[in-house]
Structure 1
Amino acid sequence: MKEKRNLGILIILLLCSLSYAQVSKSEKLLATILTEVRAVNKERAFFLVDSIYKNEPDVHVKIHALFIHAYLYHDEFDIPTSLQFAFQAIDLAEKNKSYKWLSRLYGFAGAEYSRLGLFNEALQYFDKIEAVIPKIADEHDRNFSYFYYHHLLSAYYYEQKNYNEALQSIQRAESYIAKIGEALIHYNHYMCSVEQNKGINYLELKQYDKAKKAYQKGYEYISKEENTEEFLALGYIYAGLARLDALEQNSANAEQILAAYHKALHIANVNDNRDLKEICDDYLRAYYESIGDWENYSLYNKAYLKERQEKEEFRAKTVNELLAKQQLYQAKIVDKNKKYLVVIVSFLLVLLVAPGIYFIVKRKRKQPNSTGEGTSTALVEKLALGKESELAQFFIGVSWYAEPVKESEQAIIRALTHFEVEKGFLDSTVTIDTLAEAWQTTVFEISQVLKKHKQVEFKVYLTQWRLFESVKIMRFEREYRDYKISHLAEVVGFGSHSSFSIEFKKSIGVNPSFFIQYLEEIEKK
């Protein structure tokens, strides 16, 4: 089964190229390929987009074609190839200062990374959007780009379960679409998307009245359009309204609730959308549990767990593939640089002979190791051979700094010490907000104590403690080496296999599986 983006990105990507009244024939054809040809003949869609890219002289149309190409691979859920075309388009857009397309492409790349849980990488691209939007000359394009940017941010925050921040981004998106108004092509689709996003965030926050109002408003917008029976937004709205009826136990009977759920499931299957299907399975298992229908509960619970597992496995596989492609790309750059270096050295040898050789050797000695292999190898060796009492020094924020302690800081320091001793960081749901509430203090005060006495931000502090714990159990509790990396990640508090692997590689220089293999080889020797 192919996996596709949730509504927050899908509806925007499908329609953003149709949002302008004045477009060239090639751009109209690209829009037609995306909305019509793609649905019936994917191979022909690829062929036509490639043909336009190769034969169209207008560089902006070429950028558009590369963007559509990236989306077609996104549609196949081949994210590494999708990003490859997106980066090619970004390079072309940056060279030609095509700020309108840059804002879209940065958003596309950020959304792909966000979808995989690579939030740091996603944020890097989202930050770039804000810098290019003011450079867009046309006011209509500029307002639409701001709308697009905040709409993407809402999906980014939703993925991280930061629902209040997601709603704030939706409000900002609304303010910009209001400046364009109903002159925007497919205005009702966009407004339905906005209301649906509101609904799903309010539902997570248990603000049921606001959620219902948003879903109903979204339904009103989409009902003004024709042929929307299989529109993805409608599936989310059906599922949301059914969930609200089930939770509120209002006048809606079981027949109406189940009819809405099955309409949502039908739309999920037609669109081959795992996100919506997972939501429907989750809501249905909760519904059947609430009425004591254990047979159907078991059916949908299995479906939900299976969907979750397949998504996580797919995500981990895709992240690993992305990392492998990045390493291959970096290796090609290093190889290319080496070839250039040979040419330069040869040229200098001819011109300078001995003085030239002396200069090159002297310069090379001053250059740091660009790969960082020596540092990584040394750290891995220290972590694999050092005493348990020595390991803490290699993780930022694990040890306390000898700073004077104010009386106002003592309670927080005691709470943090207890948190570390009791290994509260192993709880994947813990946040600085939950700790502030539990300790009856503020996020700011905890942050200040960490900065002063640990010299670290809370997110890094949490990550480093989890990595420290993972190294300890791999070193000193032999059975953990036989665990799957995904289970090991869960044990030490990470939300996914991919986030654990990425943070481990970033801090230690190797993947967790490599570290385990290294430990095994040392023991054999």
Structure 2
Amino acid sequence: MQPLRLLILPLLFFAGLLVAQKGSREPYERIIRTFVHLPINDSAALPKIRVLIALAKKEKNAAELTKAYHDALHYTPSENLKLRYADSAITAAHLSCQEDLIATAHLGKGIVYYFNFKRYRNALQEYLIAMGYAEKTKDHYLIHKIGYHLGVVKSYLGDHCNAIRHFETGAAYFLAEMQKNPHPNLLHNMRKGYYNSIRQMVICHQHLNQDEKADSLISIGEKGVPEHRDFKLLRSYFHQFRGISEFRKGNYEHSIEELDKALPEIERNRDFAWASVIYFYLGKNRLQLGQREKAMPLFKKVDSVYLRQHFMFPELCENYKILVQDARHRKLMNEALYYSDVHRKLENQISADVIYLSSVLDAEGFKYEKQRLTESKRMITVWSVLGMTMLALFFLRYYYLQKETEKRFRVMVAPSGFSDGTSGSGTQRRAGKFTLPQEVYDKMREKLQHFEDMEYYLEADLTEKTVADRLWTNTQYLSAYINISKGVNFRTYLNELRIRYIARQLSENPEFLKYSNDGLASKCGIGSRSNFSRQFSKIYGMPPQRYIKKCIQANREREEGR
């Protein structure tokens, strides 16, 4: 009887949950109305939320308990308590067996990791779990919201082009929903989603030095973000972006004015990472205005935030270069050594994050662009069956024609029957499964040599098809030649050309030593900082920044030798 009793107890518990969840929401709504008007992080809401939690526990209402813990997370000013409430929300959500609540709870924990702690690794894990549950629901808002946060991770990795696609897709969805004249609460959420997506696009475009696009989006934010208190932080971010934009244009006084407008609200919300960005640009403005004494304390403030929070955006590595140069200028070698050491630790931390986060995203094979947003399951009708049949016949015909074409191609590029992968007669070249007639091989060698000599490989977004078209050949010949002559596939061949070009420039051209990883990736046509760092480490066995340090050291030794 004991095993049977153990089996029945959980069933009774879940039955109790289901019955409770069918009850009225009115008691919960009454309590929520007592604190919903309070701003985020206002602890005055917490006593009322504890009543909400107690009621949900008493009624064994897992869904309401999940929402109550989420409210507690929203209103507590304590970062550690936010994390604890996030864990409690996840536990309650899983008891509710509602996939949308489970997804929301994991997303909430990810946001705490990202916003309050800047732990991108932990945040990414939670986002991916959340998306796994959200994709099983029909909640498009939730799916786009999670997609937005995945875009933020890609932006941090330096993959700004792919990140922009996330934000553009989300912005289009949120804007379309805004225009449907929804309920005020829903409209509020859609506006937040839309303007936050615009905000993230500004960040990406500024990193890509696409200032006109960034300025256009900043104007959208400045004109459109509501004056409501819930949007005060968002308005501050747009003041910050305007300040960065004005700095780039050389309007230093105006830049300081905009950054000063942004700082108070960002500091009030304890967003230390973006506060550091503001300190950094305020310092750079002061330097440009010749106010060095006012500038250096601002750069040191960035350092103090990093030492306290152990996080900094990659673009702020320049902060330590400025501090090192200043210390050397004042002949304070111990101070220079200290800042240099912190700079090295920061770069190592960023490199480790980039490698880890990239590997997780690659392993998940996450393709947000191909998101499955099916509106409803349609019944299969006779017409759809007929349509599928016609489509199948079409593809069978297409498949047959493709096979015939492939047979003709095999006459020229046939699998080698020799055990020696690289040898052949005087009229053919072979490697593995690839064979090319000698005449075709020689022509391809000339064409690809010209491609390398002209450094066409530095262009962005090259594909096997675009290169084949440029060389007046086809992808089969191009692929076969690269495999025979280089022993690698097209993508590996292209990456090696690009990375070796950068390594050569770093050794020979001092100007390249000043570039960030973003800049180096852009110079050689690689689309993201993370991919550039990964490929560089793969070929040279070290991150780009360590290679740069070796080049700088070699230059010094050469100078001293003279």
Summarize the Cα distance change of 1:120–1:217 in structure 2 as closer, same or farther, 3 Å threshold: closer
- The corresponding residue for 2:355 is 316
Q: TM-score, structure 1 length as denominator? A: 0.56
Give 1 or 2 for the bigger CA radius of gyration: 2
Mapped partners of 2:198, 2:111: distance in 1 = 20
CA distance in 1: counterparts of 2:202 and 2:431, whole angstroms: 39
Which of 180, 190, 193 does residue 234 from structure 2 map onto? 190
Give the TM-score normalised by the residue count of structure 2: 0.53
Hey, what's the Cα distance between the residues in 1 that align with 2:434 and 2:255?
50
Confirm whether residue 135 of structure 1 aligns to residue 174 of structure 2.
no
**How far apart, CA to CA, are the structure 2 residues paired with 1:17 and 1:244?**
32
Alpha-carbon RMSD: 5.3
Contact 1:212 1:241 in 2 (8 A): yes
**CA-to-aligned-CA distance 1:332-388 (integer Å, 9 cap, x gap):** xxxxxxxxxxxxxxxxxxxxxxxxxxx9xx99x97999xxxxx9x999958999968
Measured in 2, the distance between the counterparts of 1:127 and 1:307 equals 31
Structure 1 Cα separation of the partners of residues 321 and 193 of structure 2: 34
1:392–1:468 contact (8 Å) kept in structure 2: no
- Show the counterpart of 2:201: 153
Compared CA separation, residues 142 and 190, structure 1 to 2 (3 A):
same
Give the direction of change, closer, same or farther, for the CA distance of 1:470–1:283 in structure 2 (3 Å limit).
same
1:92-103 equivalence runs, <5 A: 92=136, 95-99=137-141, 101-103=142-144
Paired AA for residue 359 in structure 2: N
Query: CA, structure 1 residues 280+193, in 2 after alignment: closer, same or farther (shift >3 Å)?
Result: same
- Going from structure 1 to structure 2, the CA distance change for 1:32 and 1:43 (only over 3 Å counts) comes to closer
1:72-101 deviation per Cα after TM superposition (whole angstroms, max 9, x unaligned):
555532265234224225414xx32443x3
Single out whichever of 491-500 and 30-39 deviates more from structure 2. Answer: 491-500
Closer, same or farther: CA 25–190 of 1 in aligned 2, 3 Å: farther
State yes or no: 1:68 paired with 2:108. yes
Q: Distance in 1 between matches of 2:526 and 2:311?
A: 26
Alpha-carbon distance between aligned partners in 2 of 1:495 and 1:34, rounded to the nearest angstrom: 36
**2:90 paired residue among 47, 50, 54:** 50
- Equivalent residue for 1:30, pick from 70, 85, 105: 70
Q: Which of 285, 289, 300 in structure 1 is aligned with 2:324? A: 285
Q: How far is 1:212 from its partner?
A: 1.3
* Partner Cα separation in structure 2 for residue 128 and residue 25 of structure 1: 32
- Is the CA contact (8 Å cut-off) linking 1:70 and 1:84 kept in structure 2? no
Q: Identity percentage over the alignment?
A: 13
SS state of the match for residue 135, structure 2? helix
The one-letter amino acid of 2:496's match is: S
Change (3 A) 1:453 1:16: farther
Aligned-pair CA distance for 1:157: 1.8
Paired residue secondary structure (1:96): coil
Contact preservation (8 Å) 2:110, 2:124: no
What letter corresponds to residue 277 of structure 2 in structure 1?
Answer: Y
How far residue 215 of structure 1 moved from its aligned partner, in angstroms, is 0.9
Q: Spell out, residue by residue over 1:298-326, the C-alpha distance to the aligned partner (whole angstroms, 9 max, x if none).
A: 54344334423431243123313432343
Task: Give the distance between the partners of 2:352 and 2:434, measured in 1 at CA.
Answer: 29
List aligned pairs for 1:103-502, cutoff 5 A. 103-133=144-174, 134-136=176-178, 137=182, 138-177=186-225, 180-181=226-227, 183-185=228-230, 187-219=231-263, 221=265, 231-250=272-291, 254=293, 256-275=294-313, 278-288=317-327, 296-326=335-365, 390=444, 421=453, 423=455, 467-468=493-494, 470=496, 494=526, 498-500=530-532
- Partner Cα separation in structure 2 for residue 321 and residue 64 of structure 1: 21
**What letter matches 1:162 in structure 2?**
Q
Residue type matched to 1:191 in 2?
R
CA drift at 1:165: 2.5
Aligned residues: 377
Unaligned runs of 5+ residues in structure 2 are: 1-38, 50-63, 367-392, 404-412, 417-429, 473-489, 501-516, 541-562
* 1:192/1:72 CA distance change after superposition, 3 Å: closer
Matched to 1:114, the amino acid is S
Deviates more, 1:386-395 or 1:112-121: 386-395
Aligned-residue offset at 1:112: 1.4
Q: Please, which runs of 5 or more residues in structure 1 have no aligned partner? A: 1-14, 328-358, 370-374, 400-419, 433-448, 456-463, 475-485, 505-510, 514-525
> 1-side partners of 2:237 and 2:215: how far apart?
13
